[in-house]
Amino acid sequence: MPTRMKTRTVLSLLAAIVLSGAGVSASAQEIDLGGGYGYASIQHEFDRKNYQGFWIDTSVYAWQHLGIVGEFDRLVWSQTYNAFVNETHRKYGYLGGVRFTSARSRTASAFVDALAGVAHDHTTLFVGVPTEISSSVFALQFGGGGDVRIARALFIRTSGGIRIDGPQYSIAWNSPEWRLQVGAVYTFGR
């Protein structure tokens, strides 16, 4: 299956998961839309590299403490060795899952989430001519964080977690991706 088709399939699936809460009564429903800065420490062949980028997250809270989440992120690490040799690694995540929260009506609330989906890695190696390498694998992500209200429906979010790319292989559990995120979240339906 071509990569573009896989990406569309995953995005369609995430949209369906997030929008599945649309049938719940509007009085019980809240929708969050957030995004911000993302950081990850990812194991390469001999050491860990520091990736930076962004994340976008949307969630539907059809029940008081349970939300259905869809998340997209893009992180990049790049190294230039000289005018003729460099490498760039781009990691994309297309994940969906559930989020459990404390009381969201308070000034501060905490959450934990479990997500599953596709992690896509695209690497460009340049040694005189560019060489492109891409792969997509099943991924699991577990994390948690907190939201602090700064306005009626606007929050600052910090979160952390681990992502395991290819959890079906035992080696993947030995070197997870350590992730941190900070950004803003706007809540509709409050």
pLDDT in tens, 124-171: 999 989 999 999 999 999 999 999 999 999 999 999 999 999 888 877
Backbone angles phi, psi at 62, to 5 degrees: -85, -20
Q: What is the pLDDT of residue 172?
A: 78
pLDDT digit string (tens) for 79-125?
A: 999 989 999 999 999 999 999 999 878 899 999 999 999 999 999 99
Q: Which residues of 60-94 are buried (b: 16+ CB within 10 A; e: fewer)?
A: bbbeeeebbbbbbbbbebeeeeeeeeebebbbbbb
Q: What is the DSSP string of 106-152?
A: SSEEEEEEEEEEEEEEEEEEEESEEEEEEEEEEEEEEEEEEEEESSS
Could you tell me if 38 and 181 are in contact, meaning their C-beta atoms sit under 8 angstroms apart?
yes
Domains defined along the chain, listed by start: 3-188 (2.40.160.20)
Q: Does the predicted TM-score (pTM) go above 0.75? A: yes
Q: Answer whether residue 27 shows pLDDT above 50.
A: no
31-82 residue pLDDT tens: 999 999 999 999 988 889 999 999 999 999 888 899 999 999 999 999 999 9
